[in-house]
Amino acid sequence: MNGVRVRFAPSPTGALHIGGVRTALFNYLFAKKHGGTFILRIEDTDENRFVPWAEKYIVDALEWLGIQADEGPVNGGEFAPYRQSERKDIYSEYAMKLVEEGKAYYAFDTAEELNVLREKLKAAKASSLNYNAVSRVQMKNSLTLSDDDVQNRIDSGEPYVIRINIPLKEEIRFQDQVRGWVVVQSSTLDDKVLLKSDGMPTYHLANIVDDHLMGITHVIRGEEWLPSAPLHVILYNYFEWTAPMFAHLPLLLKPDGNGKLSKRDAEKHGFPIFPLQWLDGDKKVQGFRESGYYPEAVLNFIALLGWNPGGEQEIFGMKELIDLFTIEKVHKSGAKFDIQKANWFNEHYLGVKDEKSIARQLVADVEDKGLTIDDDVSVELVQLLKDRVTFESELLPLAKFYFEEPISYDDDLVSKKWTAQAVNVLAEFASRVESYENGSIDDFKSILMNVLDKQDVKMGKVMPALRLSITGETTGPDLMGMIKILGGHRVSQRILKAINSLADRVID
């Protein structure tokens, strides 16, 4: 077992937050940069919050983004199983070892008893309950009870947990690759539960044991785990194991930079926060995929949330990210979640995407509406419209000019631009292009210019009226591009319809 080994270890308790996706990506990039191994481990020890389909969601999300685990619950590996619920016996063995060495102890306090003590402290306006070297002497545990009493309680089946025995006065020091040296006094730490009364380990024990047994060399995780790191360092010392290098990634912040990004913020501002759609009760919460984002755009976006290789370049493919990624370039401060930047990335990848591929999706969207379109026309529409949209789904609404004739005309434009001069030019243009079906944009433009020259009219006097007659609107895609796609006959018919419909509204 040599080289860099990192892991992404999510809990299957709900949808995968985009912050978790970034953690997975940074671990993946770091592993691939160093020719190492990226492991997916499912930390499913929280039975109360376990969601059966969440693991598949995690796997599907990473697969959509191109983050492929070298080892994990799907493809296995030398250190299987990769679900903590299937490794239960391993953890109890290590918890008992700590108890035997006096580094952990049995605690028999019930949840009700602990709550009563909390309320007493609250009423006395004292500090909140910390189960530590000071308070543990008032509790029911193997440090305050006799050995016989402890054994009798265990033999009788009385529930207990195993807590770590934190030293009272000790300096815990470790180096974080993002934040430098971190120093914490042990007196500020709780005697955290390592093994719960149901025999399942807590995160603190399970992740330490698994990281050691799986040969994890670097633990790259979110900043929210930084307060737990000193406890983990103590556990490594207790087991006399070499701790991995730690790197705690900066928080993802709200768009305004004030506070941690949450699902509520995403709902408030109307942007996705999960990679894929998630069913929250009866409510479907749209993910980035269902919102129309390309996976490469999402990857590019989240890679630059809290990391930057330096320089002006912003567009990076996966291979470039692997080549450039270093922990040293990860920022300490939180990263604002700017959805407009995500949109910008998506526009870029839409712009360089194969037009025939986009056109196939447009055809599918058209057929879903009960309409039909030729493949060649769909490609032309993509070429005309793609620079005006952020998502492929926005193409069809802009393409409605191809399927629908105007049923009304913009009143404001009619009152200002529907002049007799414009109508005369439009009528002659309609006559000339009526049988002109396969012309290019330049052909149609040449015909229009010829009519304008003949009638001695400036183009600006006619173009708004020409657009109005074809689409009924004041703005839209390139006008000559639309005319070319529609063909001379349909253009002619629309112009004549507008002339007839607006005959009583012509202005001098």
The set of catalytic residues is 263
**Closest to 280 in 3D by CA, of 391, 293, 272:** 272
DSSP 406-454: -SS--HHHHHHH-BHHHHHHHHHHHHHHTT--S--HHHHHHHHHHHHHH
Q: What is the spatial distance between Cα 472 and Cα 383, in angstroms, rounded to a whole number?
A: 22
Report DSSP state, residue 71. B
Report DSSP state, residue 330. B
Task: Let me know how many helices (H) and strands (E) the chain has, helices first.
Answer: 21, 13
> Which ranges constitute the DSSP H helices of 41-87?
54-65
The answer to whether 39 touches 5, Cβ cutoff 8 Å, is yes
Q: What is the spatial distance between Cα 167 and Cα 230, in angstroms, rounded to a whole number?
A: 12
Reading phi first (left if > 0) and then psi (alpha if -120 to 50, else beta), residue 69 is in: beta
Angle at which helices 488-501 and 479-486 cross, to 10°: 110
What does DSSP say about strands 252-253 and 278-280: parallel, antiparallel, or unpaired?
unpaired
DSSP 105-168: EEE---HHHHHHHHHHHHHTT-PPP--STTGGGGS-BTTTS-HHHHHHHHHTT---EEEE---S
Q: What is the spatial distance between Cα 183 and Cα 185, in angstroms, rounded to a whole number?
A: 7
The answer to whether 390 touches 455, Cβ cutoff 8 Å, is no
In three-state secondary structure terms, 317 is coil
How many CB atoms are located within 10 Å of the residue 80 CB? 14
Q: What is the spatial distance between Cα 138 and Cα 126, in angstroms, rounded to a whole number?
A: 16
Q: What is the spatial distance between Cα 194 and Cα 197, in angstroms, rounded to a whole number?
A: 10
Q: What is the spatial distance between Cα 6 and Cα 469, in angstroms, rounded to a whole number?
A: 62
Cβ-in-10-Å burial (0-12, 13-18, 19+) of 40 comes to: buried
Residues 6+ positions from 383 with CB-CB distance below 8 Å: 355, 481
The answer to whether 72 touches 40, Cβ cutoff 8 Å, is yes
